[in-house]
Structure 1
Amino acid sequence: MQGLKSAVRGCGGPCVYEAVPDGGWGWAVAVAFFFVEVFTYGTIKSLGVFLQDLMTEFGESNSRVSWVIAICVFILTFTAPLATVLSNRFGYRPVVMFGGFLISLGTISSAFVSSINEMYVTIGIVSGLGYCLTFLPTITILSQYFNRRRSLVTALASSGESFAMFAFAPAFMALKEIIGWRRCFIVIGLMQASLIGCGALLRPILIRPDQEVSGEVSNKEKLSVKLQTIYELENEDSQTNVSSEESEESGDSGVTSLSASSADLRATTATQDPSETRALMEDQGEKNQGGQATLGTPLNQLEAGEKEQGEVGPLVQPCRPKLLDFSVLNDGAFICYSLFGLFATLGFFAPSLYIIELSKSRGVHPEKSAYMLSVMAVSEVCGRLSIGVILNKVRMRKTQVLLGCVVLLCLVLLAFALVTEFWGLAACCCLYGFLMGTVGSTHIPMLAEDYVVGIERMPSSVGVYMCIQSFAGLAGPPLAGLLVDKTQNYGSAFYSCAVGMGLGAIFLAMVGPAKSGLCHRGKTRKQEEEEGEEEEGEEERGEEEEEKVSQDSGSTDYLDVDLVVETSPAKWSPEQETNVV
């Protein structure tokens, strides 16, 4: 029974690696993220199938019904800092499991609403919060399991959204004709309950370079043993060669001990790495009073110094991560990248929400119009896989590749408003799906790149990024619905998406210059004074180090002379003692 408990604890405990594994349990996390994409973004983008049913059921307009999706997306992104705080406080696994429960609860509750306002709460707030608590921690921990393959694995795992759109759109269309849209929501909610199991797969990861730490410990132990042996031998030599009276008068025992120790120490540390030797010497010096007493201090004093510093503690104390870090807002590159996400989000959800109604208004048969989402989904899978391979091969900055995809996506959104027949719409859906796959699968993992914020600050920065992005998610679908109500043309909804995507491309192009400092050339007088003070402080520290080195070299020369004198004790005289001392 005890063995079973330990096995279960081992399977559920953290995964410890010496470096980022680029695999291992990360593949299980990738599978979990695949299904998270299926039942979060994949389900949200497939809700356009029920748009006309909700308008008929509650007698509402396009803009009123589209607020369901808008509120859901807004809560999903705006509460991202909350997901970051909860993940840092309780861990990724319980947060994702609780999020899966909220998603299922909100979707099932939507089957029993009597007005669109109640659906704002069930799907918009309850399920939206669950989407955030499920999606954000999963993609964050997935990025920690991979380094070199991060772009490819993220693209593969995020393709679950595309497969969901491909399968769910025609399936929901057929299912609602058989059992009605309310029972269809119950079925969707029950399927989304599987996210609780996906959360159980998210084992935390710990990176511990065990070999380096053990190497440092062994070097310290070896040096301590050498110092102890040297001290004991020194005492024996001083007791044999020098009488107690001469020792009391001249203090020769201490000088001899120090000289011997210095010579032996130079011999024993000559083969070691200079940086390691210096670090170990400094560590031993900190445990004593410094100066010549470092090698002449009795062993019990050394042990006492070690106990004062806590000999049982680890060499490197783990730092508890901040619950929420807004310091990324001081980074110009992050600000530009966040503004890119803010405006680009205008084109993320409205096309999938209105493409079916746009197809019907252009003369496409209702049964064939549902396949427009499937065309988008298949192309999106290809786009996600392609961008993963491309980003692993290219030598240029990945943000430049992303910028090219965003510009092309803006042009495709404009083309939606111009085509008038089935094949033209199908071609636009194909191009849009491919480009949307490239952008949608990379814009969040791109934060882990060093020229944006880096992997160390990603857990906190992704929450702030999605919070900024949330306002466009709230405004996008209602703005598109308002344009449709005013113009009675579903093509006008795609104009707002194109404008937002174009503005996003401008800010994405500014990420590189902002990171390299071209946007910060003008410095205030206060900043210049602070930099001057830092430079002066560095110069003073450099001079102090030079003085210490010169003192150390001087004491070494003195010890060498004393060592030569000690080798011929028969010729020792008080006059020589006076000259040397």
Structure 2
Amino acid sequence: NSNSIANGGPCGVQVPEGGWGWAVAVAFFLVEVCTYGTLKSLGVFLQDLMEEFGESNSRVSWVFSICVFVFTFTAPLSMMLSNRFGFRPVVVMGGILISLGTITSAFSSSINDMYISVGVVSGLGCCFAFLPTVTLLAQYFSRQRALVTSVASSGESFAIFAFAPALFALKKHIGWRYCLVVLGTFQASVIGCGLLLRPIIIEPEPLKEAQHSDSLPLKQRMRLDFSVLKDGAFIWYSLFGLFATLGFFAPQLYIIELSKSRGVEAGVASYMLSVMAGAEIFGRLSIGVVLNKVPCRKTLVLLGCVILLCLVLVAFALVWEFWGLVVCCALYGYFMGTVSSTHIPMLAEEDVVGIEKMASSVGVYVFIQSFAGLAGPPLGGVLVDVTKNYGAAFYSCAAGMGLSAICLAL
């Protein structure tokens, strides 16, 4: 373990500013590619799965919903195992599970098989890989935390930008099943990411004796801290995360079919995901720079981005031509990048829980999100099946994002 500590942390907390943290940032970039990046690219296979298994939109969307639910619901387990055995073995196990789940899904004989392989196995692997890595990365930086985590999290966007058209082209030659085998093999790279992790110890600065005595002991800080549920700021922030999750996954899942339903050719429609991803990269990078410079509370900047994201989701349901969809995809990608790259690291801010409690509270926060992750895509699928209009799915996303903005404002 690296115990070298540098000054500069908030409220008297000593954290490194870089060092091995840059290697952790590279690992987190690749973990983002193999978790959120691949998950959000699976919308390419939505129509294939419907045709292969003769299922409806809502039934197929449960594959993604179960994966997101397990991803977030098992967050407390992921953090408890990380605090007990260390970040490295948990992330390595996550890489094994992600790869195993995706590869075995290629041999599914029914949609129920994919509920287990992609939904449960890969979902658990994603949680084991993602949370320990992002938590450790946030502990390596203080002044540059927002910028570094934003840049590193752009791995998700790069993955969607590259994978969507690549998988669409590849499945024409080898079919969707072999595409999943290729994807699962690539996801095994998370195992190497886990081996790069080097945990650190966050220690309070020896300021005043009174301040020091109020600090949580190290072992207590590293456990899951359900006492944060008594903190009003954390409760409202968790409700923000809960409702925002309704808009995190359904747009990527349905944008291709929405575009096709409005006259866009199938091959061109797959590039809508790439437009989203390209804009999301700029969103992630720019929000990191902005948060490093703004004098106001960073949560206020996040609130502004959430409100604009809500308006863009409404616009998706209102536009009916190619360039309107392109503009909506670009705006959604940009603001999605600003929100998705900052909402978890924002827990380290003192007006939420602070850096000392982040490791113990992040599991609770993501656990609360899990229920919206389970409901989001199927809710959109039901609305599509009932209305026969893919735009209806975006209304449910906008409603969730609007509620999240209210909670964040409170």
Q: TM-score range by the shorter chain?
A: over 0.9
Match of 1:68 among 63, 66, 82: 63
Of 128, 141, 144, 2:139 maps to: 144
Going from structure 1 to structure 2, the CA distance change for 1:329 and 1:53 (only over 3 Å counts) comes to same
Using the TM superposition, give the Cα deviation of residue 324 of structure 1 relative to its aligned residue in structure 2, in angstroms: 1.9
Check 1:67–1:319 CA distance in 2 against 1; reply closer, same or farther (3 A cut): closer
SS at structure 2 position matched to 1:456: helix
Q: Could you say which residue in structure 2 is the equivalent of 1:353?
A: 253
Q: Structure 1: where are the runs of 5+ without partners? A: 1-12, 214-274, 277-316, 511-581
Deviation of the 1:209 alpha carbon:
8.8
DSSP 3-state at the match of 1:40: helix
For 1:17, the equivalent position in structure 2 comes to 5
Q: 2:129 aligns with which of 134, 155, 158?
A: 134
> Matched residues in 2 for 1:318 and 1:335: separation?
24
How many Å separate the matches in 2 of 1:161 and 1:43? 8
Instruction: Extract unaligned runs of 5+ from structure 2.
Output: 8-14, 210-216
Structure with bigger RCO (C-alpha 8 Å, 6+ apart): 2
Q: Aligned AA for 1:133?
A: F
One-letter amino acid of the counterpart of residue 223, structure 2:
L
1:397 to 290, 297, 312: 297
Q: Structure 2 CA distance, aligned partners of 1:126 and 1:442?
A: 27
Aligned-pair distance for 1:321?
4.3
Equivalences for residues 230-249 of structure 1 within 5 A:
none
**2:229 is the alignment partner of 1:329:** yes
Match of 1:421 among 321, 332, 355: 321
Cα RMSD after superposing both structures: 1.6
Structure 1 pair 373–318 and aligned structure 2 pair: CA distance change class (3 A)? closer
Give the corresponding residue for 2:392.
492
Residue type at the aligned position of 2:288:
G
CA contact (8 A) 1:15 1:203 kept: no
Partners of 1:65 and 1:116 within 8 A in 2: yes
Quickly say closer, same or farther: Cα 1:82–1:433, change in 2 above 3 A.
same
C-alpha distance in structure 1 between counterparts of 2:175 and 2:181, whole Å: 10
In the TM superposition, residue 473 of structure 1 has moved relative to its aligned partner by: 0.3
Q: Could you say if the C-alpha distance between residues 506 and 141 of structure 1 is closer, same or farther in structure 2, counting changes exceeding 3 Å?
A: same
Equivalent pairs: percent with the same residue? 73
Deviation at 1:192, TM superposition (A): 0.4
| Secondary structure in 1 matching 2:201 | strand
Aligned to 1:571: none
Correspondences of 1:139-538 after superposition (within 5 Å)? 139-207=134-202, 319=219, 321-510=221-410
| CA contact 2:157–2:280 (8 Å) conserved in 1 | yes
Corresponding residue for 2:10?
A: none
| Letter matched to residue 168 of structure 1 | F
CA contact (8 A) 1:18 1:208 kept: no
State the partner residue of 1:79. 74
- In the alignment, the residues of structure 1 paired with residue 301 and residue 219 of structure 2 have an alpha-carbon distance, to the nearest angstrom, of 36
| Dislocated runs of 4+, deviation >4 Å | 207-210, 317-322
Distance 2:203 2:259 in 1: 55
Q: How does 1:16-95 map to 2 (within 5 A)?
A: 16-19=4-7, 20-95=15-90
In the TM superposition, residue 207 of structure 1 has moved relative to its aligned partner by 4.8
| Bigger CA radius of gyration | 1
Match of 2:212 in 1: none
Whichever residue aligns with residue 150 of structure 2, its letter is A
Q: 1:125 aligns with which of 115, 120, 138?
A: 120
Query: 1:100 — aligned with what?
Result: 95
Mapped to 2, the partners of 1:121 and 1:478 lie a distance apart of 17
- After superposition, give the CA deviation of every residue in 1:363-403 in whole Å (9 maximum; x if it has no partner): 00111101000000000000000000000000001110000
Deviations 1:321-373 (A, max 9, x none): 45321000000000000000111110000000000000000000111101000
Once residues 102 and 296 of structure 2 are traced to their aligned partners in structure 1, the CA distance between those partners, rounded to angstroms, is 43
Cα contact 2:139–2:202 (8 A) shared by 1:
no
Which whole-Å CA distance do the structure 1 matches of 2:195 and 2:113 have between them? 31
Q: Using the TM superposition, give the Cα deviation of residue 205 of structure 1 relative to its aligned residue in structure 2, in angstroms.
A: 1.1
Instruction: Give TM-score, length-normalised by structure 1.
Output: 0.67
CA distance in 2 between partners of 1:490 and 1:43 (Å): 22
- Report the TM-score when normalising by structure 2: 0.94
Q: CA deviation at 1:461?
A: 1.1
SS of 1:500's partner is helix
